[in-house]
Amino acid sequence: MTASRTDTADGTAPHGPDTRPGPLRAARDWERARAIARSCAGQPLPAVPRTLADALGHALAEPLLALTDLPSFDTAAMDGWAVTGPGPWRLAGAGVLAGAQPGPLGPGSAVPIATGARVPPGATAVLRREHGEADAGQGLLYDRCPGPVCEGQDIRPRGQECRSGEPLLPAGTAVTERVLGLAAAAGYDRLTVHRRPSVELLVLGDELLGEGVPRGGRVRDALGPLLVPWLRRCGAELIGHHRIADDPGPLREAVRRSPADVVLTTGSTAAGPVDFLHDTLRSVGARLLVDSVAVRPGHPMLLAELPATADGRARRLVGLPGNPLAAVSGLVTLAEPLLRHLGGHRDPAPARLTAAAALPGHPSDTRLLPVFTAGRDVTPLPFDGPAMLRGLALADALAVVPPGGVPAGTGVDVLELPGR
């Protein structure tokens, strides 16, 4: 599955992986690069138990089955009175609070009840407080409801939402805050999820500043702050984040020693005087799976298989180009599909929307363009150069623009951006 720059048209590499910088004649097309990133993940990482508190961001390794009927008892949906049959009713008992186990309610009787309380056996409806008038002296409750009280009114019957054993969510569902709420309601203390892929982030470039205003020909590291939370949203567990000097020694050692499932580098993918990534990959015995992709920005992105850990665990490396928008392109093209598959997440399908204005394309490559979507309309944003983040920060999606561009009024695939 090696995809080097020297690949032949049928996808075979006649001379083995070529890690030398060179002309990008046979760069992988964008879809194929994404497919290689997905397939090189192999099977998702093993299933592990996690407490609810620790399960956020993982993917379910098995379907979430209800451990109980929901609700698990006939429940009052409103504050008022549990009643049996038509009114007026004889008031009986001090009232039923949520959490109580009430005794049976006889025919023609009513008992005060709170929202969420178990409805007494024999009760046929709940009369809302605002629909009833209690006469304490007579011990009677009168029905002031505009219409008749129907059987089952304002009672949430047992099993209304689900029955015990019913599948609530399929395997592969991302554990969000909402899923945690449902899992707790359905009786779970722990969830069986896929282990999250561990990621070590290596940010390369002597010119990068960690703080303050860019000065003296140096620039702020924009990718550390952008990637750390983005990787977590892809279901990754960040186990290291280092800035590495433009020096082949420290980079080689960091790559060689990393225990991460995925090493993610930024910068150094091209052929500049201090772009050491290809040499490093060669020196650690990596196998290039994708070496440049026919996509703009970001075409020098790469994906490699690293030698396994001592205990036989597979490791991969994704090299993101240094230009920030190009790095995002590499992230969505190679890193996201790989991380999502390792973590057992389902793939989000691109949405097919309509270009509200012409979307400019590259003559021969796919272009990933920051866009704003409103309804089905896709509008390109300015400041979309490879070194710019201004358009991306306003965008809620990336349009996948085929070679030649997309005329206004035509369909286009868009990838939703996180945090839209």
Ligand X SMILES: Nc1nc2c(c(=O)[nH]1)N[C@H]1C(S)=C(S)[C@@H](COP(=O)(O)OP(=O)(O)OC[C@H]3O[C@@H](n4cnc5c(N)ncnc54)[C@H](O)[C@@H]3O)O[C@H]1N2
Strands 237-244 and 198-204: parallel
- Whose CA is closest to 81, among 105, 55, 53, 56? 105
Q: Which of 305, 301, 366 is nearest to 334 (CA)?
A: 301
Under the binding rule (CB under 6 A), the answer on residue 78 touching ligand X is no
Q: Identify the residue among 268, 280, 333, 373 touching ligand X (CB under 6 A).
A: 268
Piece of 131-139, 145-153, 190-198, 203-211 that binds ligand X (CB under 6 A): 203-211
Q: Could you give the 3-state DSSP secondary structure of residue 11?
A: coil
Indicate the DSSP class of residue 295: E
Residue number, nearest CB to ligand MOO: 386
Least Cβ distance, residue 259 to ligand X (angstroms):
23
Question: What's the one-letter identity of residue 162?
Answer: C
Minimum CB separation of residue 23 from ligand X in Å reads 9
State which of residues 132, 267, 337, 370 lies at the interface with ligand X (CB under 6 A). 267
For the chain, the residue count is 420
* Residue 17, binding choice from ligand MOO, ligand X, none, Cβ under 5 to 8 Å by partner class: none
- 410, 359 contact by CB (below 8 A): no
Q: Is 386 among the residues that bind ligand X (CB under 6 A)?
A: yes
What minimum distance in Å lies between the beta carbon of 32 and ligand MOO? 18
Cβ nearer to ligand X, comparing 21 with 172: 21
Binding site for ligand MOO (CB under 6 A): 296-299, 321, 323, 326, 386
Residue type, 336: E
| Location of structure tokens 């304490």 | 136
Q: Which does 87 bind (CB under 5 to 8 A by kind): ligand X, ligand MOO, none?
A: none
Q: How far is the CB of 280 from ligand MOO (least distance, A)?
A: 19
List Cβ<8 Å contacts ≥24 apart for 177-183.
177/56, 179/60, 179/64, 180/52, 180/55, 180/56, 182/64, 183/52, 183/55, 183/64
Look at residue 105 and give the partner it binds from ligand MOO, ligand X, none, a contact being a CB closer than 5 to 8 Å depending on partner kind: none
Beta bridge partners of 59: 174
Sign of CA dihedral 407, 408, 409, 412: positive
CB of 269 to ligand MOO, least distance (A): 8
DSSP 66-120: -SS-BSSS-EESSSEEEE-SSSSEEE-SS-B-TT-------TTEEEEE-TTPBPP
CB 218 within 8 A of CB 208: yes
> Which backbone phi and psi does 258 adopt, to 5 degrees?
-60, 130
Does 269 interact with ligand X (rule: CB under 6 A)? yes
The separation between the first and the last C-alpha atoms of the chain, rounded to the nearest angstrom, is: 35
- Name the binder of 272 from ligand MOO, ligand X, none, CB < 5-8 A by kind: ligand X
Candidate segments 117-125, 170-178, 215-223, 364-372, binder of ligand X by CB under 6 A: 215-223
Handedness of CA 27, 32, 38, 41 (dihedral sign): negative
In the complex, the smallest distance separating the C-beta of residue 59 from ligand MOO, rounded to whole angstroms, is 30
147: Cβ–Cβ under 8 A, 6 or more apart, which residues?
none
User: Should residue 69 be labelled a site residue for ligand X when binding is judged by CB under 6 A?
Assistant: no
Tell me: does residue 279 bind ligand X (CB under 6 A): no
Angle value at C-alpha 147, between 142 and 149, nearest 5 degrees: 60
Q: Does 221 bind ligand X (CB under 6 A)?
A: yes
Q: Which residues pair with 144 in a beta bridge?
A: none
Residue 207 binds which one of ligand X, ligand MOO, none, with CB within 5 to 8 A depending on kind? ligand X
Residue 412: what residue type? Answer: V
396 binds ligand X (CB under 6 A): no
| Number of shown-chain residues binding ligand X (CB under 6 A) | 26
For ligand X, the binding residue among 84, 124, 258, 266 (CB under 6 A) is 266
Q: Which stretch binds ligand X (CB under 6 A): 231-239, 254-262, 268-276, 345-353?
A: 268-276
223 binds ligand X (CB under 6 A): yes
Q: Which C-beta is closer to ligand MOO: that of 322 or that of 343?
A: 322
Q: Tell whether residue 321 is a contact of ligand X (CB under 6 A).
A: yes
Least distance (Å) between residue 299 CB and ligand MOO: 5
Binding region for ligand X (CB under 6 A): 203, 205, 207-208, 219, 221-223, 266-272, 275, 297, 299-300, 321-324, 326, 386-387
